[in-house]
Amino acid sequence: MNSQKFKQYDPKHEFKSKLRKGDEVLILAGKSRGEIGKIETLDKKTGRVFIAGKNLNKKHQKPSLNDQDGGIVDIPMSLHISKVALVDAKTKKATRLGYKLEGDKKVRFAKKSGAVV
């Protein structure tokens, strides 16, 4: 008899990222490459992000009780977090993030310009 093991969620193994919900990012790969948008949701379990109004797919939907018309609808698809980069507020270009201490607080800063995010 085959016993299949299921992976259980372990908070120690969630995907680490310095990006947060609401950050303005540049899409580096995919059909929306080069576009800028804000992070709508961030899934740390799978390491994927949804960007508002970007990376849309078409879906053919039947009429239902909620949607009387049906037809072709745009659905936002997720992107892997490695395919996006934070947009620097000063230079308006992609940058990496770092952490530094200001007083007693740990803050994020853009590596290209040094500005606090």
Domain boundaries defined on the chain: 16-110
Rounded CA-CA distance 100/92 in Å is 21
Rounded CA-CA distance 115/108 in Å is 9
Contacts (Cβ under 8 Å, ≥6 apart) of 20: 39, 42
Please check the confidence at residue 80 and state whether its pLDDT lies above 80: yes
Higher pLDDT, 90 or 2: 90
Please check the confidence at residue 2 and state whether its pLDDT lies above 70: no
Please check the confidence at residue 7 and state whether its pLDDT lies above 80: no
Q: Which fold has domain 16-110?
A: SH3 type barrels. (2.30.30)
Beta-bridge partner residues of 86 = 25, 95
Mean per-residue pLDDT, 67-85? 91
Hey, how many other C-beta atoms are within 10 angstroms of the C-beta on 25?
22
Q: How confident is the model at residue 4 (pLDDT cuts 50, 70, 90)?
A: low
Rounded CA-CA distance 70/90 in Å is 44
Please check the confidence at residue 41 and state whether its pLDDT lies above 90: yes
Rounded CA-CA distance 19/17 in Å is 5
